[in-house]
């Protein structure tokens, strides 16, 4: 083969896979592979999606991608002709993070109402005031949504061109956030590096990867970074949520390496503590606007289901799921975990069929209590 002709073809092929491929996730939303799904690849992105994608697995069959339609509370039905949208990225992240991912990976920028809601974005970022005696947070003094010349997007969350003095504390009007911004950026470097290794680990059988089942040094670094983000950001912040989820996954990866019962209980207790800390952030960051789940009525039309998820996204439900399983291991009285598992099973049945591994795993837990 002539490499001058085959190389451009390979580049185009890889580009198509990157642009149109889906990260295949298990029931706990852990990436385990990449797949191409022709029809669903035509679904457009929205930072306020009205559908969510999950994956179903049957023995001897290829993974199936399922789309669960949601409504956002503004209307009760998804009508014929309405566009179905999904989010290509973490839609709960701050504007700059979302825009950077969309530009880097999909070569476009989103201009939806959520991407123009800078006041909400300040709440999601939740950067604390640097004054130790103040409980305020950073906010923008002017609405800059109309400015069309974005700066390079990074973790300091300053997405648009602005002059000095346009950022201030909501309580004391402090405007110098450079110190806490640098501290947050340094902590995020640790979190992102570990998250990258964890994803490599889930997609590979290579036992020599640095995070294979985790290690104590890495966990120590993660705990330090997570603590730094709690100091620089309010607890509802996406940065605290993201760091907490990475720490939880790293601790779960490390659990199989711990032989001593007391050490396992120590790590399980720490995971439960982190879940409790980030639970409200998961609800806050993912509920713009609150999510309702739709189901098919007898005539086949899509209607809002009778139960309301109370702001719980699939992300929040999975956190509840992990907490309930850990409580079964830690607590002598399983009744609290039993009630939680029954509730989680009901909610997850909206997204997964009864034979899915996560549902059958919950059934085993219920039958064993």
pLDDT of residue 1: 57
Q: What is the pLDDT of residues 255-299, one digit of tens each?
A: 887 778 888 888 899 999 999 999 989 888 887 654 444 444 333
Q: H/E/C letters for each residue in 244-264? A: HHHHHHHHHHHHHHCCCHHHH
- How many degrees, rounded to 5, is the angle at CA 74 between CA 70 and CA 80? 60
Q: What is the pLDDT of residues 96-129, one digit of tens each?
A: 999 999 999 898 989 888 888 888 888 899 999 9
Q: Which residue has the higher pLDDT, 88 or 336?
A: 88
Q: Which residue has the higher pLDDT, 33 or 310?
A: 33
Q: Which two tokens stand for residue 33?
A: 């592979």
pLDDT of residue 296: 40
What is the overall mean pLDDT for the chain?
79
What is the Cα–Cα distance from 194 to 222, expressed in whole angstroms? 8
The answer for residues whose C-beta is within 8 angstroms of residue 287's C-beta and 6 or more apart is 311, 313
What is the Cα–Cα distance from 218 to 246, expressed in whole angstroms? 11
pLDDT of residue 173: 84
pLDDT of residue 350: 87
Q: What is the pLDDT of residues 66-104, one digit of tens each?
A: 998 876 544 455 778 889 999 999 999 999 999 999 999
Q: Which two tokens stand for residue 160?
A: 């648009």
What is the Cα–Cα distance from 21 to 34, expressed in whole angstroms? 6
Q: What is the pLDDT of residues 139-193, one digit of tens each?
A: 776 543 333 333 334 444 333 333 333 678 888 888 888 999 999 999 999 999 9
pLDDT of residue 9: 87
User: With pLDDT > 90 as the criterion, what percentage of the chain qualifies?
Assistant: 31
What is the Cα–Cα distance from 30 to 28, expressed in whole angstroms? 6
């Amino acid at each position: 083969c002539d490499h001058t002709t085959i190389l451009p073809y390979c580049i185009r092929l890889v580009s198509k896979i990157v642009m149109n491929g889906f990260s295949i996730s298990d029931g706990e939303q852990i990436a385990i592979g990449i797949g191409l799904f022709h029809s669903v690849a035509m679904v457009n992105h929205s930072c306020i999606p009205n559908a969510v994608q999950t994956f179903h697995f049957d023995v001897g069959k290829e993974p199936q991608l399922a789309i669960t339609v949601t409504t956002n509370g503004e209307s009760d039905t998804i009508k014929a002709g309405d566009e179905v949208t999904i989010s290509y990225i973490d839609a709960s992240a701050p504007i700059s993070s979302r825009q950077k991912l969309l530009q880097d990976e999909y070569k476009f920028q989103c201009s939806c109402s959520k991407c123009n809601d800078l006041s909400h974005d300040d709440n999601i970022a939740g950067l604390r005031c640097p004054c130790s005696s103040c409980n305020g947070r950073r906010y923008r003094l002017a609405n800059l949504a109309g400015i069309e010349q974005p700066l390079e997007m990074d973790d300091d969350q300053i997405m648009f061109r602005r002059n000095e003095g346009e950022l201030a504390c909501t309580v004391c009007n402090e405007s110098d956030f450079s110190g806490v911004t640098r501290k947050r950026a340094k902590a995020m470097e640790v979190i992102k590096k570990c998250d990258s290794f964890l994803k490599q680990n889930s997609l590979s059988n290579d036992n020599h990867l640095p995070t294979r089942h985790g290690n104590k040094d890495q966990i120590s670094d993660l705990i330090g970074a997570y603590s730094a983000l709690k100091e620089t950001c309010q607890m509802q912040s996406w940065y605290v949520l993201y760091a907490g989820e990475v720490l939880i996954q790293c601790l779960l990866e490390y659990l199989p390496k711990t032989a001593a019962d007391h050490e396992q209980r120590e790590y399980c207790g720490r995971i439960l503590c982190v879940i409790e800390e980030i639970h409200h952030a998961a609800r806050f960051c993912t509920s713009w606007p609150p999510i309702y789940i739709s189901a098919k009525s007898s005539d086949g039309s899509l209607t809002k289901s009778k139960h309301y998820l109370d702001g719980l996204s699939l992300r929040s439900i999975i956190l509840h799921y992990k907490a309930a399983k850990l409580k079964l291991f830690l607590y002598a009285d399983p009744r609290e975990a039993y009630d939680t598992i029954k509730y989680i099973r009901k909610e997850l049945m909206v997204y997964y069929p009864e034979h899915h591994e996560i549902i059958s795993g919950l059934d085993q837990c219920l039958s064993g209590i």
